[in-house]
């Protein structure tokens, strides 16, 4: 009974959950704004070094979050190149780290989705007089199911991330403590009821958002 009360009534659980959703949602949105056009450029563009940049993106998809956290921390630390911005141990630092983690995932899967389309489709659209923006828009529409999968993968990579968030955010109560870092902290303190409550919300958030995106995706399949 106490566990149920903690899950649904504890104000700190709600605060941590809402903050996690805000930061991960913002990180995913920025990753989408970066990854969608960049992945499109890598998939459709023809320029020197394209294979090299594609290799970097693919390598970035498997970049360990703790390494990202270390790199961002070194940049944002007071003695670092960007220390004057005073972003270390702030929510903004977490968003930056999550964006670095998620952007390669969205970029790589976007490029893969567009490369799987029939090349003749692009030629047909151009033959009908479509300009570059119209061609890209139609290709995105044709690959929308795969692009939704890229969005789900990008969100999943940040909502479940713990190492980078702890390193650049500091796990400060009411400021930078998110679900994953709070679960680690509370488990270490032996506060298992609180850790389980946070875990329940983490699973619920992940399930609800992915279920919604999957429903949209499958509607596209049926249509």
| Whole-number pLDDT of residue 202 | 93
Indicate if the pLDDT at residue 223 is higher than 60.
no
CB-based contact 26:92 (threshold 8 Å)? no
Going by CATH, does the domain composed of 2-222 fall within 2.40.33.10?
A: no
What are the tokens at 166?
């702890």
Does the pTM of the predicted model rise above 0.95? no
| Whole-number pLDDT of residue 76 | 94
Indicate if the pLDDT at residue 7 is higher than 60.
yes
Task: Give pLDDT tens digits for 154-184.
Answer: 999 999 999 999 999 999 999 999 999 999 9
b/e sequence 164-203, b meaning 16+ C-beta within 10 Å: bbbbbbbbeeeebbbbbbbbbbbeeeeeeebbebbbbbbe
| Whole-number pLDDT of residue 213 | 84
**Span 10-31, mean pLDDT?**
94
Indicate if the pLDDT at residue 18 is higher than 90.
yes
| Whole-number pLDDT of residue 124 | 85
Q: What SS3 class is residue 130?
A: coil
Q: What SS3 class is residue 46?
A: coil
């Amino acid at each position: 009974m106490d566990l149920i009360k903690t899950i649904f009534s504890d104000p700190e659980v709600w605060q941590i959950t809402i903050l996690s959703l805000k930061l991960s949602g913002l990180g995913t949105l920025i990753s989408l704004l970066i990854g969608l056009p960049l992945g499109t450029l890598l998939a459709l563009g023809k320029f020197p070094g394209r294979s090299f940049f594609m290799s970097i993106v693919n390598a970035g998809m498997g970049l360990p979050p703790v390494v990202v956290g270390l790199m961002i921390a070194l940049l944002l630390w007071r003695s670092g190149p960007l220390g004057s911005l005073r972003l270390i141990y702030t929510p903004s630092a977490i968003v930056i780290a999550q964006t670095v983690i998620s952007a390669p995932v969205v970029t790589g899967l976007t490029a893969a989705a567009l490369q799987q389309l029939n090349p003749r489709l692009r030629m047909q659209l151009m033959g009908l007089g479509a300009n570059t923006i119209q061609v890209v828009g139609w290709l995105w529409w044709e690959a929308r199911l795969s692009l939704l999968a890229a969005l789900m993968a990008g969100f999943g990579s940040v909502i479940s991330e713990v190492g980078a968030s702890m390193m650049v955010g500091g796990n400060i109560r009411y400021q930078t403590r998110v679900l994953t870092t709070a679960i680690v902290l509370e488990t270490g303190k032996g506060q298992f009821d609180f850790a389980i409550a946070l875990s329940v919300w983490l699973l619920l958030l992940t399930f609800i958002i992915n279920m919604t995106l999957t429903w949209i995706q499958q509607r596209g399949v049926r249509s």
